[in-house]
Amino acid sequence: MKNIITALIAVICVVIGGVGGHMLRGGSGEAAAASATPDKAHGEEKSEDDGHGAPKEKEKKDSHGGDKKAGKDSHGGSSSSSGVTYFRFSREFVVPIIQHERVASLVILNINIEADASASDKLFSQEPVLRDVVMTTLIEISGDGRTFQSMTSIENYETVRSLILGNLQKKFPGMGIKNILILDIARQDL
């Protein structure tokens, strides 16, 4: 009897978790249905009024006097992101630090790649190879025994960044990889 109650409670918890996850998933529920309907205010079509008594201008100028429809942003550049994209890896890198033939600590790094915007699709399709090159470089760095020991040293930080960048540019010469961004770094001694 005790085992049946325990199993029943486990099944109920799994079902509740599944229902909760389904409700929280984007694109389902009442919120998605409300956003899919046209904008209406109290059952009437939304007017061209911005709520301040004056009708909205059809063509609005930006704060610097430029025309928004001209394809330029408010700072004179084109409305694209100036040709740079940032590739974020799907998960962090965990690097073991070996001392005396055993794992002494783990270093966790969150790394992004700055590249040309034209290389965005290539980066996503090559993520496993990119991860392999970065991880191989990190393992090589961890083997020297000094780089990850002093993580607050800017010199060591720049060493990690430049070695990863150099190896990626060597492996992917036409990819347009410009920089390596280390967003987070943490060390856990074991």
Shared domain check, 179 and 95: yes
Residue 122: CB partners within 8 Å, gap ≥ 6? Answer: 175
Considering its fold, how many domains does the chain have in total?
2
pLDDT, tens digit, for every residue of 15-37?
888 877 777 775 544 444 544 54
> What pLDDT does 124 receive?
86
pLDDT, tens digit, 9 for 90 and up, residues 165-183:
999 999 988 888 899 999 8
Shared domain for 90 and 176, answered yes or no, is yes
Q: How far apart are the first and last CA of the chain?
A: 43
**What is the C-alpha separation between 173 and 88, in angstroms, rounded?**
19
Predicted confidence at residue 68, as pLDDT, reads 45
- Is position 172 within any domain? yes
Give the pLDDT of residue 50.
52
Q: Tell me how far the alpha carbon of residue 124 is from its chain's centroid.
A: 12
Whether residue 175 sits in one domain with residue 109: yes
23 and 89 both lie in a single domain: no
Residues 109 and 177 in one domain: yes
Nearest CA among 111, 108, 89, 98 for reference residue 186? 108
* Cα 146–chain centre separation: 29
138 domain residue, yes or no: yes
Domain that holds residue 102: 84-189
What is the structure's pLDDT at 54? 54
pLDDT digits (tens, 9 = 90+) for 124-165: 888 899 999 999 999 888 877 667 777 778 888 888 899 999
If asked whether residues 183 and 112 sit together in one domain, one would say: yes
Residue 51 inside a domain? The answer is no
Q: What is the pLDDT of residues 76-107, one digit of tens each?
A: 433 345 688 888 988 999 988 888 888 888 88
Q: What is the pLDDT of residues 39-54, one digit of tens each?
A: 444 444 445 555 555 5
Query: Do 19 and 96 belong together in one domain?
Result: no
pLDDT, residue 120, reads: 81
Whether the full predicted model's pTM is greater than 0.75, yes or no, is no
